[in-house]
């Protein structure tokens, strides 16, 4: 799978060809274009809003904007830059929903984790999935939730630069800032997040008492994890590190890379069938008129 946030000249050429075909009324080319980028938009969105269902809604909102504006793309910038600026502007200015609406702080998040009791793991016979999957769900949910303690711009920059492998050049183009400014903003986001993790999380600092297995049952009993409806963990999962190249080292960030590795171990999630959704959208008069689709 080609990384939508990479500086890939060959991928840019494919995008431009597809866009030209879409602008000439080729409906199948639009489906191909959406399929090339939807999972990347979705994985960015889920790290902005936490809940996969909310992220799907955000992804659909973004794709409607992209589809209806495709007729205005004239190639003055790379298509990916044009696309991701729409994504960035949307997630920075959209309404707050779900978990993001709680306006979490690192202090409040740390207190909530501390208040979660340390308990033995659930009896394997009492839960519908394997216990290791529950521990993985707690780990991913907890570290994903930490992102909500960053402000939106920090969260976006961290997701681009650390999680999805965007270089400082690509990140700067998307956010319309210099590569140097992108690196500085990324360093601040990393510092704030990793300072909290270093003082709180046993995954990165062995002296911290918080351990995912010890908190798993407490997370379940508090309703933060539903064994019957896992949001992030599955038996067969593709990891972010498997699909997004690591450009963090190129940014010359000196903070221990163990912190970043936790987020690159997160699952690379797949949205539900957006092709089916796309085909419904294409039936709308607004979209057909905007794109002159056949």
pLDDT digit string (tens) for 112-142? Answer: 999 999 999 999 999 999 999 999 999 999 9
What's the pLDDT at 273? 72
Mean pLDDT across 239-250: 72
CA-CA-CA-CA torsion sign (147, 148, 154, 159): positive
- The percentage of residues in the chain with a pLDDT greater than 90, rounded to a whole number, is 67
The Cα–Cα gap between 66 and 278 comes to: 12
Mean pLDDT across 232-249: 79
Q: Domain-by-domain residue ranges, the chain?
A: 9-291
pLDDT digit string (tens) for 40-57? Answer: 999 999 999 999 999 999
Residue corresponding to tokens 């702080």: 105
pLDDT digit string (tens) for 60-112? Answer: 999 999 999 998 998 888 999 999 999 999 999 999 998 998 878 999 999 99
Say if residue 249's pLDDT is above 50: no
Higher per-residue confidence, 68 vs 254: 68
């Amino acid at each position: 799978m080609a990384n939508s946030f990479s500086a890939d000249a060959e991928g840019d050429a494919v995008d431009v060809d597809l866009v030209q075909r879409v602008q000439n009324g080729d409906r199948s080319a639009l489906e191909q274009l959406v399929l090339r980028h939807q999972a990347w938009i979705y994985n960015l969105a889920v790290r902005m809003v936490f809940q996969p269902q909310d992220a799907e809604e955000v992804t659909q909102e973004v794709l409607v904007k992209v589809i209806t504006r495709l007729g205005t793309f004239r190639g003055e910038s790379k298509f990916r830059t044009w696309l991701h600026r729409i994504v960035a502007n949307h997630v920075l200015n959209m309404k707050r929903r779900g978990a993001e609406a709680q306006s979490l702080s690192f202090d409040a998040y740390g207190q909530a984790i501390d208040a979660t009791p340390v308990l033995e793991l659930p009896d394997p016979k009492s839960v519908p999935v394997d216990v290791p999957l529950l521990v993985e769900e707690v780990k991913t949910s907890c570290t994903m939730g930490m992102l909500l303690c960053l402000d939106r711009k920090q969260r976006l920059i961290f997701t681009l630069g650390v999680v999805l492998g965007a270089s400082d050049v690509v990140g700067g183009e998307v956010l319309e800032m210099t590569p140097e400014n992108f690196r500085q903003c990324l360093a601040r986001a990393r510092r704030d997040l990793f300072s909290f993790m270093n003082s709180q999380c046993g995954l990165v600092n062995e002296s911290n008492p918080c351990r995912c297995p010890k908190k798993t049952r407490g997370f379940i009993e508090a309703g933060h994890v539903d064994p019957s409806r896992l949001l992030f963990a599955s038996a067969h999962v593709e990891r972010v590190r498997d699909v997004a190249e690591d450009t963090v080292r190129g940014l010359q960030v000196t903070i221990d890379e163990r912190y970043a590795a936790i987020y690159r171990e997160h699952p690379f999630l797949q949205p539900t069938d957006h092709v089916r959704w796309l085909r419904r959208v294409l039936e709308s008069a607004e979209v057909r008129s905007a794109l002159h689709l056949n």
